[in-house]
Structure 1
Amino acid sequence: MPKNIFVIGFDNFNYALLEPIGKKKNYRFHSLLATNEVKRQKHYFPENLLSKAEERLKQFSGSIDAIVGYWDFPTTCLVPFLNKKMGLPGPSLQSVLKCEHKYWSRVEQSQVTQDIPKFCVFNPHDKDVRSKINLAYPFWIKPVKSFASHLGFRIHNDKEFKESIAIIREGIGRFSTPFNYFLNQITRPQSVADINGEFCIAESIISGRQCTLEGYVYHGQVEIYGVIDSIREPNRSTFSRYQYPSHLPQRIQQRMISEAQKVMNHLQYDNAPFNIEFFYEERHDHIWLLEINPRISQSHCDIFRKVDGASHHEVMIDLALGDQPDFPKRKGNFHCAAKFFFRTHHNGVLKQVPGQEQIQRVKKRFPDALINIHVKEGMRPSDLQSQESYSYELGYVCMGADNEHALLDNHRQCLEILKFEFQ
């Protein structure tokens, strides 16, 4: 009998990666909540989303074998909530919130590692808010619940601080209100009992070579199956590409893996995938833990497929079914791969974006290239939801090659064909 797997945030891109898994393993995928219900909304209402999901599950006549999701909040909290209600495997909502709540996560991390920045919590609505931050410039500020650097600012002086606080005050409610709904479903420890989604965290600057460890916990055993380099633009705030496999020395990767295992076990996170971001500061031979995400990164799915021969959707599905993952290694068609972002710092009206003709020219030259354009002619980049604070993501292309030199050359050729122009 086929197993029925319900997906929160089902979209065409991920369906193309899930479909071959379904055929191979006899799975049937069903959309539980559509992408436009859980992503890029101006407002989120968890009660409504949960009610819709529960009603759709109730109306289904077959077996309900797993519920999965690969997007950030609110999907990350919807999945464990529904899994518990349906008696399905997965992490507790509390352990997920320990990862999602940036201040709570730091408090927990500080109990088992020193490889984290200095940090403090503050209420951006306070009148004399700067006096509540015991850090000297420069530092980062961000809401305790955000993602993709949304409302995250690198602060160098009082002027930047004042401007950034004004923006945060205006926009923080988009995520704080739905996040508070999930916080209210659990009992928090005294140290964070009063720190809800309206608060922000300030952190000292950490830097170095950034990477992401993709892993999972199965019955308390923490496993890491891939390390991806996160390469930034010169402004040090904006990602230019994710590249796999990592060029970091194996000894450094192993130190990060050991830290990840220690932290994830301390959080009591279990039977689910995660990714955890680190910096390696070469000058002092120091690693820094940046953040933890209680999900797979769907940004890495296609580059895993190109190098390892399978998307790590398989890891997510295996765990959701209560099984230990058996992910392949280096069985793909390429030795390395990357997800390259099309970004701009300009917010003018777009008069030209890559069309099907240009995309097909790239596909003819690079048949395995995966291209996604987020914008249309006549739009401004600011019309997109959930953008970072320093640039706009117009789209991306995933490409593979036999070595890094060839990979970067392939990307250069791609940029010569795919053009964005502003009025």
Structure 2
Amino acid sequence: MATNVFVLGLDEQNHEVLLSLPHDRDYRFLPLLGLDELGQDREVDMPGLLSLATDRLDSFPGTVDAILGFWDFPVSSLVPLLCRDRGLPCAPLEAVVRCEHKYWSRLEQRAAAPEAVPRFTEVGLDTTDKPEGLSYPLWVKSVKSFSSELAYRAADDAEFRTAMDRIRAGAGRIGASFQWVMDRVRLPAEIAEVGGVAALVEEEATGDQLTVEGYVRDGVPHVYGIVDSHRYPGTSSFLRYEFPSTVPEEAGERLGALSERVVSRVGLDNVTFNIEYFHDPRSGAIALLEINPRHSQSHARLFELVRGVSNHEICLRVALGEEPELDRGGRYAVAAKWFLRRFRDGFVSSVPTAEDVARAQGRVPDTRVEIVARPGRRLSELPIQDSYSFELAHVFVGARDRAGCERGYRACAAELPFTIRDTDTED
């Protein structure tokens, strides 16, 4: 009998990764709400999405054995809402909200690991002056966003006011829908008063950025990998994710212990997670950036290239109530996801063709290219971008060493022609 696994927002890339997992049974990976229906680029209708997904599951003639999701809100909230009524393993909805509400999450992080949390405060959207007690440079963020949207660095009062203006204009798109989810869990009075449409202001953390990946099953957290996040020089935009991390073993052990402590504090269970940190290699200091109640789909092919199976395997096993396994021996010593970016807006006249992509992938074995930019649109019209740059393509490369990984990326990128004009229209 087939094991029916429904996946919210199942796209071609993630479907390919799921099909590549080692199968000890007959899995069927079934789409549940397409990315166009989930609408991460517009205001989300949470009651409508929940009703639509429920109707599709209820009308399915077979068993519903697991429900997965690899995306941020609304997927991260829909998974526990849908699983709970079917008795399927999932994270408590309250724990998910506790992680994803940036201010509530900071309060919990500070309670669990005060030494790793920068100074912060919550402010209303009408705020125009820097909060007392905090020093520049600051990061100003909506209390609910994703993929670095509505996150701005402010080095002085003018930049702070500009950041608040941008957050004021955009926070309601996700925050109002997130409020609907918040209303379905028990909230501390302080968080209920803040709500889903507000801003978090915190002092800047510095160091090398990295991500700890893990899972919790039956209340016990486990860490299974650390991925380095390298940025374009002088920016906050990612150049590549690289696995395995080069962080010293002692620091890795501290990061693992800290992650397990924080995850237990926020109450995550029966779910994968990733936690973003900064590590200062000179002082050894660790600063926690944020907790995500899901694994990173961006790291899936990195684990596959190095360990022989992607981290989707962990997510699948936990969703089925089984103990995961993630080390089958991969082909490469190091792997990276590279971000080909442009740092100013423009009209996309053309993108690499299928033949261009095939030629690029043929330059380096096991390389994968994903084109993000879309012809006939401005880069600023693409959803899920950070606040300072625009993604053109993703390039996944495995190699024997880091230098070889970079050579492979540059060889592939050289075969990817984009035509982007600075004018507003194609003419």
Which residue among 361, 368, 371 is the counterpart of 2:369? 371
Q: 1:382 aligns with which of 380, 383, 389?
A: 380
Aligned match of 2:335: 337
Counterparts of 1:133 and 1:145 in 2: how far apart (Å)?
Answer: 23
Instruction: Tell me what 1:410 maps to.
Output: 408
Aligned to 1:8: 8
**Secondary structure at 1:393 match in 2:** strand
1:34 paired residue number:
34
Displacement of 1:236 after TM fit? 3.5
Q: Which segment drifts farther, 137-146 or 350-359?
A: 350-359
Which residue in the other structure is 1:211 paired with? 210
Q: Paired residue for 1:118? A: 119
**TM-score normalized with structure 2 length:** 0.95
Rounded Cα–Cα distance in structure 2 between residues aligned with 1:422 and 1:322: 48
Is 1:274 aligned with 2:279?
no
Alignment-derived partner of residue 167 in structure 1: 166
Amino acid corresponding to residue 258 of structure 2 in structure 1: E
Aligned AA for 2:361?
Answer: K
- The match for 1:95 is 95
The AA in structure 2 aligned to 1:366 is: V
Partner of 1:90, secondary structure, is: coil
Residue 345 to residue 56, structure 1, CA distance change in 2 (3 Å): same
What value does the CA root-mean-square deviation take over the aligned residues? 1.4
Tell me the distance in 1 between the aligned counterparts of 2:150 and 2:348.
24
CA distance in 1, matches of 2:179, 2:99: 15
CA contact (8 A) 1:148 1:386 kept: yes
Cα deviation for residue 131 of structure 1 reads: 5.3
In structure 1, distance between residues paired with 2:381 and 2:184: 33
Give 1:79's aligned residue.
79
- TM-fit CA distance, 1:149: 0.9
Following superposition, the deviation at residue 190 of structure 1 comes to 2.5
| Residue aligning to 1:257 | 256
1:164 CA displacement: 1.7
Contact kept in structure 1, 2:130 and 2:157, CA below 8 Å: no
Residue 193 of structure 1 deviates from its aligned partner by: 2.2
Deviations 1:78-124 (A, max 9, x none): 00111111111111100111110111011011112121110000011
Q: What corresponds to 1:318 in structure 2?
A: 317
Counterpart residue number, 1:290: 289
- Give the Cα–Cα distance (whole angstroms) in 1 for the partners of residues 31 and 282 of structure 2: 48
Following the alignment from structure 2 to structure 1, what is the Cα–Cα distance between the partners of residues 361 and 388?
30
1:216 is paired with a residue whose SS is strand
Change (3 A) 1:61 1:209: same
**Structure 2 CA distance, aligned partners of 1:232 and 1:334?**
23
Contact 1:22/1:29 (CA < 8 Å) preserved in 2? Answer: no
- Residue aligning to 1:47: 47
Q: Which residue of 2 aligns with 1:61?
A: 61
In the alignment, is residue 354 of structure 1 matched against residue 348 of structure 2? Answer: no
Tell me what 1:199 maps to: 198
SS at match of 1:193: helix
Supply the distance in 2 between the matched residues of 1:296 and 1:407 (Cα, whole angstroms): 23
The whole-number CA distance in structure 1 between the counterparts of 2:98 and 2:161 is: 29
The share of aligned pairs that are identical, in percent, is 38
Counterpart in the other structure of 1:139 = 138
Pick which of 247-256 and 13-22 moved more. 13-22
Report if aligned partners of 2:22, 2:309 keep a CA contact under 8 Å in 1: no
Check whether the contact 2:361–2:412 (CA below 8 A) recurs between aligned residues. Answer: no
Deviations 1:49-89 (A, max 9, x none): 00001000110111111111001111000001111111111
Secondary structure of the residue aligned to 2:83 is: helix
Letter in 2 for 1:267: V
Q: Is the 8 A contact 1:9 1:39 kept in 2?
A: no
> Quick one: distance in 2 between partners of 1:308 and 1:25?
21
TM-score (norm 1): 0.96
Cα distance in 1, alignment partners of residues 216 and 187 from structure 2: 23
Secondary structure in 1 matching 2:129: helix
- The answer on 1:188 being equivalent to 2:187 is yes
Query: How far apart, in 2, do the equivalents of 1:132 and 1:357 lie?
Result: 53
Question: Which range moved further: 234-243 or 70-79?
Answer: 234-243
Question: What's the offset of the Cα at 1:22?
Answer: 7.5
Query: Aligned partners of 2:150 and 2:253: how far apart in 1?
Result: 32
Q: Write the distance in 2 (CA, Å) between the matches of 1:134 and 1:175.
A: 29
Q: Secondary structure at the match of 1:347?
A: coil
Are 2:248 and 1:240 equivalent residues in the alignment?
Answer: no
Point out where structure 1 has 5 or more consecutive residues left out of the alignment: none
